[in-house]
């Protein structure tokens, strides 16, 4: 009986160490799962914002160049300034384009959801939206939404300038794009 004294205590300590290692692994798995869930949510938000602007551009296609400031391109969202006024089309079409750009800018800044302190929180981290005119003759536009991801992945292509060098390491920049061709319906 004396030889067995303390052996149960050692067994309990070994079992506790094994349980702690298992719990630490499970905690790491939960943390990684939450991080991936946030990344997926941000990607979904970006796709919704992208489709929103595609719809707005298609609905007001007669003054599509107002949405991109012609060949200059427009960047909205985090750190962006107000776009220049457009001189194309009727006053109603210009007003609609201005309202669309302001609404999209507010959505990029997260105005769709607010916290208890009335602060915007409904968008991705550092969200930026860009509208570029790729070809004036055939009326082709590229709409992009960029944001900062939580983890490093592969950097987006250099041709995608939206948000470039705005998030520290380029491997944290995420971009979704859509190319829109405005048909001549006349």
Dist CA 63 CA 66 (whole Å): 6
Give kind and range of the element (H or E) at residue 180: strand 173-181
- pLDDT class of 7 with cuts at 50, 70, 90: low
Intra-chain end-to-end CA distance of the chain, in Å? 101
pLDDT at residue 1 is higher than 60: no
**pLDDT tens, position by position, 120-163:** 666 788 899 999 999 988 999 999 999 998 888 888 887 788 88
Is residue 96's pLDDT more than 90?
yes
Average pLDDT across the chain, whole number: 86
pLDDT in the model for residue 2: 60
**174 close to 147: Cβ distance less than 8 angstroms:** yes
pTM, to two decimals = 0.79
Are the C-beta atoms of 114 and 123 separated by less than 8 Å? no
Please, are residues 142 and 111 in contact by the beta-carbon 8 Å criterion?
Answer: no
The rounded percent of the chain whose pLDDT value lies above 90 is: 38
Find the helix or strand (DSSP H, E) in which 37 lies. Answer: helix 7-59
- Per-residue model confidence (pLDDT) at position 4: 62
């Amino acid at each position: 009986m004396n030889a067995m004294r303390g052996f149960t205590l050692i067994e309990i300590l070994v079992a506790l160490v094994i349980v702690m290692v298992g719990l630490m692994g499970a905690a790491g798995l939960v943390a990684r799962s939450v991080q991936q869930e946030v990344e997926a949510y941000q990607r979904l938000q970006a796709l919704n914002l992208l489709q929103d602007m595609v719809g707005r551009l298609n609905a007001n296609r007669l003054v599509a160049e107002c949405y991109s400031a012609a060949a200059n391109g427009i960047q909205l969202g985090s750190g962006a300034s107000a776009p220049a006024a457009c001189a194309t089309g009727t006053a109603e079409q210009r007003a609609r384009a201005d309202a669309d750009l302001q609404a999209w800018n507010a959505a990029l800044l997260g105005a769709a959801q607010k916290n208890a302190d009335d602060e915007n929180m409904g968008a991705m981290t550092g969200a930026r939206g860009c509208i570029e005119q790729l070809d004036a003759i055939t009326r082709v536009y590229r709409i992009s939404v960029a944001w900062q991801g939580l983890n490093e992945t592969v950097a987006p292509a250099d041709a995608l300038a939206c948000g470039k060098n705005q998030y520290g390491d380029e491997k944290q920049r995420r971009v979704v794009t859509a190319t829109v061709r405005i048909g001549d319906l006349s």
